[in-house]
Amino acid sequence: MSHYHILATPRLTPVITTVFKLSIVLLLLSSCSSLSFNQTKEDISPSIFNPQGPAANMVANLSWLMFGLAGAVFLLVMGVLILGLVRSRPGVSVHESNPAQDRRFIIFGGLLMPAVVLGIVYVSAIWTMRALAAPAEADEIVVEIVGHQFWWEIHYPDFEVTTANEIHIPAGQPVRLRLASADVIHSFWVPELHGKIDLIPGQVNGFWLQADEPGVYLGFCAEFCGIQHAKMLLRVIAEPPERFAAWLEHQAGPAAAVTTPELEEGQQVFFESGCINCHTVRGTNASGTEGPDLTHLASRLTLAAGILENNRGNLGGWVVNPQHLKPGNHMPPSNLTGPELQALLTYLESLE
């Protein structure tokens, strides 16, 4: 009596059929990609299978290789299984014992084939990791990224530029990233440009990043870091080199001067209502470091770590009650009168 009979007993066949049907449904579901991560109008579901730079290309190629090998092994195993099911009938033995053949089958299918498949995956993975960790070239632009609960602090140390939640880079050139954390472990992930890399307290991780074409590439925090982990987005903005240089020069400058009575009033509100405890506006007395640098706030695309389009309405909602939009973030609500809020918003909108 062969044990193959067990698979084909009437009681188990419906179970196998159900598992098979379920796996088909799961496969179909996995192609759903219309998850809404933010409220802006751009494409919001970047994929590693749409690589937009050399590093992402390497990651995508490795993924396809692993997918192809896994698919081939899956089909082979399923083929053998189906063959066994088809050829077995209750009460009929199909398994004529042949020790030499069995041994050959086990050595090939159980040792040789896994060794070759895993060997290919191992060598390709090591090769890809080495290429992704290639050392810096002398003229590369360095960007330092510090993860916070729940936003990204961005520095360009060679240019004394500090911003938040968006990284401008010159298209077609590699940029060196250095990543650290101010609190817990975060993970930097821009699927179209690079694989994930952790931001770990007390340690600096590094890699290089390149976007082949100008564009805006959406990124995420990919390591659970607290209550607003899902709303810790960032954007990599790749620009033609001359536009990037102009951006850098502008960002290195101090905040726009206060030129009208309303702006003066708004700045006064900013100074007196606690904003300066956490935020810096270069060129003024505001030098807090808890929250994002606001020197050029109005030049940024989004607010609140990428979840809101940067416009006056969203800014007002955020300033009045940030806990409503992102419960658990570190910004307290404010208690401003209507005119105070309007003046403050006008001032913040002037910080281009």
Contacts with ligand CUA, residue ranges (CB under 6 A): 147, 150, 186, 221, 223-225, 229, 232
- In angstroms, give the least distance from the CB of 108 to ligand CUA: 45
Burial of 140 (0-12, 13-18, 19+ CB in 10 A): middle
- Residue with smaller CB distance to ligand CUA, 154 or 281: 154
Helix 338-349, helix 261-272: angle, nearest 10: 100
- Which sign, positive or negative, has the C-alpha torsion 154, 159, 161, 167? negative
**Least Cβ distance, residue 321 to ligand CUA (angstroms):** 22
Give the shortest CB-280-to-ligand CUA separation in angstroms.
21
| Alpha-carbon span 223 to 184, nearest angstrom | 10
Chain centroid offset of residue 51 CA: 13
Is the Cβ of residue 221 or residue 315 nearer to ligand CUA in the bound state? 221
The CB-of-157 to ligand CUA minimum distance in angstroms stands at: 22
CB 336 within 8 A of CB 324: no
Q: Are strands 233-239 and 166-170 parallel, antiparallel or unpaired?
A: parallel
Nearer to ligand CUA, 55 or 199 (CB): 199
Of 48 and 221, CB closest to ligand CUA: 221
Q: Hey, which residues does 233 pair with through a beta bridge?
A: 220
What stretches of the chain adopt beta strand conformation (E)?
A: 141-148, 151-156, 161-164, 166-170, 175-181, 186-189, 197-199, 205-209, 215-221, 233-239, 302-303, 308-309
User: For residues 140 and 144, which CB has a smaller minimum distance to ligand CUA in the complex?
Assistant: 144
Q: CA 249 → CA 142, 210, 350, distances in Å? A: 15, 21, 18
Name the minimum Å distance from CB 181 to ligand CUA. Answer: 9
Question: How near is the Cβ of 147 to ligand CUA at its closest, in Å?
Answer: 6
Where do we find the tokens 């192609």? Answer: 31
How far apart CA 194 and CA 142 sit, in angstroms, is 16
Q: Which is nearer to ligand CUA, 147 or 195 (CB)?
A: 147
Report helix, strand or coil for 289.
Answer: coil
In the complex with ligand CUA, the residue whose CB is nearer, 48 or 232, is 232
Shortest gap between Cβ of 297 and ligand CUA (angstroms)? 21
| CB neighbours of residue 77 within 10 Å | 11
Q: From the CB of 197, what's the least distance to ligand CUA, in Å?
A: 13
Asked if residues 201 and 185 have their Cβ atoms less than 8 Å apart, the reply is yes
CB closer to ligand CUA, 147 vs 170: 147
Q: DSSP readout, 281-294?
A: -TTSS-B--SS---
Backbone angles phi, psi at 186, to 5 degrees: -120, 175
